[in-house]
Structure formats: C-alpha cells, structure tokens
C-alpha cells in the first residue's frame, strides 16, 4: 500500500526577509545547508543568530516551528517574525496556543504538543539549543518529523555531556565562530580585566572553617569531584548521610563568603565611579547581594523575583538612557533582550563557560567608533573562586 508522507507535501509560503547576511552569517547558513540542513551553529551573543534562523526559513520556504526556552525570547521571536514576514506568527506559550505556518513556541509547550504537531512543519529551529539536551525536551526533536533541523547557541557543549544527545536528534556542530574572531568589525573590541581581592580576616576565618568541613569529608570518604555528575552524586548521598549534608551546607556557606566578599563591593564602588558615563551591567550569583548593591549604589535591580512588567520597564529605561547601570542575578544571562552596554562587572558566578560567554556578549554589540567594551571579573584570592574563574575562562 502506498503511504503519503505529509511532511514533504507542505505548502510553499513565499517567505521573504529584508535581512542581508554578513559574511560569517552566510558561511554559517551555507555550512548548515551543506550538512543536509541539519546541525548546530555556535556563534557569540550579539552576532545575529536570529538573523541566520530567519534566513534559513526564507531559504527553505516551508512551515517552520521555532522553539525557545523563555517567554522573553518567545516574544522577541514573535515580534521579529511578524515584522520580517509581514503577518502574525503563531504562538505556543505564555497563555496562548495559536498555530500558524510560522510558529514560535516555548520548549515546554513544544514538549506538550510535539506529538500532535509532528508532521505540521518542514523546519524546526531550536534557539539556545543546549536546552534540548535536558531530559524530556529531547523528545521534542524525536516526535517532530521535520526533516530540516537547525540549532542555535552561543555555547553548545554541556558539562553533563548531553550535547551528544542533541547531536543524535538534531545533527552535529557544523559551524563555530567565537567573539575574538568577530571583535572589532562585527562586535565591539573588548578587554577583560581580572581583579583579585582579599577576604577580610573575619571572612577568612569563616571561609576556612566551612571549607575545611567540606574538604575533610571528601578526604575521609575518598570522594573526588571531577565533574558535575560527581557533585550530583554527593548531593544524592546527602539525602541519607547527615555528614554529607553537613559538608554540602558548609560548602555553600564558604561559597557565599567568597562570592559576596566585602572588598568586592568596595572595588565595585571604584569601578562605578570610574565609569560614570558608561552603560554598565553588574552581575552577581546571589539575589541577596543584588538588593544590597541596589540599596547602596541606587542601582535598578533585576532578579527572578522581579515581575515581567517591572523588568521590561527597567530594561526600556536602560535602553533609553534614563538608567545608565543595572544590577542582576543570573536572569539576564540568557533569553532576555538586553539593551546595549559597554561595561560589565562580574562580581560572582559559576564555573560555566556558557554563563561567562553570555555575560560577555551583553557588552559586545558595537555602539561607537573605536569604543572598546570592558568586562571586569572580581575574584577572591586564595579561595575556590580562583579555580571557578579559571574553569569558566
């Protein structure tokens, strides 16, 4: 019996965009098409990954599903697609469930509806594709039968190795270019300044006491932490081993001391004074420190507790120049349209290369002739934060 494959009977849409690709964007698109229109493109934040995605949609001219991790990105893509293709895009997420020939969806909505949408699209674009490696999300790619698959990210590899799963369901990394190769022409030239600060005597005593509890437990238990999975194993053990739980709590307290050191705040005061005329974003790892800095330096603050409307208002005022600096904990690292800035200060963060790349990318959009972007990285000396900083760099 003959079987009709509906995926290959999809209608042509006559998609046409006003974008003209830069040389490296065209190279990335060509590499993807040469790989049978499957695979992942890795380009730095601010380099125009969305533009390449839209160019791929225009080139194939078939119904397309774009999958994104956050509501902010959902709304950004929805606006961009409506503007470029002169018509409303479908939307799955944020309280709406509307399917069109060109539709943008959150990963959560795509996961819930992938089975019914399986043969609806000829191209699927996964923005921030590293999320596809998560348990459950990878099923989106398995359930969708779209023959053309494009992944976009600033940092493809995951510490847990789940990027290998992405390669299985989407295709291999087919193009990569980093910020250094684009700096000066397409992205702002930049410098990274690392500043080491010392703990106060009081902080040093607290840090060493808690850190010793953690390292002593590892030594007595013959545990070696070589990867994130090793650490997760220790977390599981803490569920039924009181000493393991005590060690993890001690590690967390030591981490809070080194990341929120008083002298970091003192150095930040000097940096903010030096860059009075610049557009500055201050990044931290802890929400409590955000509010402390907001109160001390009168900085608008954005955390996971900030409502969507308030966050949009703060970012819009930053974009218009009414605010020249903001402070945030993690939520601006990915999936948020952040206005151009030229100075970033990383007071604390994880050892993730992805996080560091995203934060650097926030200051790389060219904003002036000959202007260099500047990222300050404040690190507490003689603590585990030195290893964290080396790992993320």
Both tokens of 170, joined, read 């989407």
- 364 versus 189: the higher-pLDDT residue is 189
Confidence at residue 54, expressed as pLDDT on a 0 to 100 scale: 93
Instruction: Using alpha carbons, list the distances in angstroms from residue 324 to 188, 250, 327, 371, 373.
Output: 19, 38, 11, 17, 15
**Which of 217, 235, 259 is the last residue in one of the domains?**
259
Domain count, the chain: 3
Please determine, for residue 2, whether its predicted confidence score (pLDDT) is greater than 50: no
Same domain for 154 and 235, yes or no, is no
Lowest mean pLDDT of 11-15, 122-126, 127-131, 274-278, name the range.
Answer: 11-15
Residue 96 buriedness (CB in 10 A; 0-12 / 13-18 / 19+): exposed
Residue 276 buriedness (CB in 10 A; 0-12 / 13-18 / 19+): exposed
- pLDDT bin (cut points 50, 70, 90) of residue 336 is low
Please determine, for residue 6, whether its predicted confidence score (pLDDT) is greater than 60: no
Same domain for 212 and 297, yes or no, is no
How many CA atoms lie within 13 Å of 280's alpha carbon, on the beta-carbon side? 22
Q: Measured between alpha carbons, how far is 68 from 77 in angstroms, rounded to an integer?
A: 9
How many CA atoms lie within 13 Å of 21's alpha carbon, on the beta-carbon side? 18
Q: 1 lies in a domain?
A: no
* pTM, 2 dp: 0.72
Round the average pLDDT of the chain to a whole number and report it.
84
Confidence at residue 292, expressed as pLDDT on a 0 to 100 scale: 92
Domain that holds residue 281: 190-198+261-392
* Average pLDDT of the residues in 145-170: 80
Strands in 190-197's sheet, in edge-to-edge order, are 190-197, 373-380, 343-346, 280-284, 325-329, 301-302
Q: 383 lies in a domain?
A: yes
* Average pLDDT of the residues in 231-240: 78
pLDDT (tens digit per residue) in 337-385: 666 788 889 888 765 666 777 777 777 665 555 577 888 889 898 888 8
pLDDT (tens digit per residue) in 99-154: 999 999 999 999 988 888 888 899 999 998 888 877 778 888 888 889 999 999 98
CATH number at residue 31: 3.40.50.300
Same domain for 243 and 287, yes or no, is no
Lowest mean pLDDT of 30-39, 230-239, 285-294, 322-331, name the range.
Answer: 230-239
Please determine, for residue 39, whether its predicted confidence score (pLDDT) is greater than 90: yes
């Amino acid at each position: 019996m003959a079987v009709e494959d509906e995926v290959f009977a999809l209608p042509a849409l006559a998609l046409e965009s006003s974008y003209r690709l830069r040389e490296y964007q065209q190279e990335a698109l060509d590499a993807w098409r040469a790989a049978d229109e499957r695979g992942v493109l890795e380009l730095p934040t601010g380099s125009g990954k969305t533009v390449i995605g839209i160019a791929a949609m225009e080139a194939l001219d078939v119904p397309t599903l774009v999958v994104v991790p956050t509501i902010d990105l959902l709304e950004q893509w929805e606006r961009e697609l409506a503007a470029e293709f002169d018509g409303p895009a479908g939307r799955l997420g944020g309280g709406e469930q509307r399917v069109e020939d060109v539709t943008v969806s959150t990963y959560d909505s795509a996961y819930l509806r992938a089975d019914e949408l399986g043969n609806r699209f000829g191209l699927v674009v996964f923005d921030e594709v590293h999320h596809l490696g998560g348990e459950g999300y990878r099923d989106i790619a398995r359930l969708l039968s779209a023959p053309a698959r494009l992944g976009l990210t600033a940092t493809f590899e995951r510490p847990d190795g789940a990027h290998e799963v992405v390669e299985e369901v989407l295709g291999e990394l087919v193009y990569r270019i980093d910020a250094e190769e684009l700096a000066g022409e397409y992205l702002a030239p930049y410098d990274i300044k690392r500043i080491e600060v010392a703990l106060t005597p009081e902080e040093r005593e607290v840090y060493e006491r808690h850190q010793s509890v953690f390292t002593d437990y590892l030594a007595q238990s013959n545990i070696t932490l070589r990867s994130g999975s090793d650490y997760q194993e220790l977390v599981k053990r803490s569920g039924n081993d009181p000493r393991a739980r005590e060690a993890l709590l001690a590690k967390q307290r030591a981490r809070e001391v080194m990341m929120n050191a008083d002298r970091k705040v003192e150095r930040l005061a000097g940096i903010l004074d030096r860059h009075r005329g610049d557009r500055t974003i201050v990044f931290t790892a802890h929400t409590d420190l955000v509010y402390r800095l907001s109160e001390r330096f009168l900085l608008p603050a954005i955390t996971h507790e900030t409502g969507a409307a308030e966050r949009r208002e703060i970012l819009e005022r930053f974009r218009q120049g009414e605010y020249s600096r903001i402070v945030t904990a993690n939520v601006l690292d990915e999936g948020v349209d952040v206005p151009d800035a030229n100075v970033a200060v990383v007071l604390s963060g994880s050892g993730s290369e992805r996080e560091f790349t995203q934060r650097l990318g926030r200051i790389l959009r060219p904003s002036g002739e000959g202007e260099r972007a500047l990222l300050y990285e404040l690190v507490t000396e003689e603590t585990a934060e030195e290893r964290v900083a080396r790992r993320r760099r």
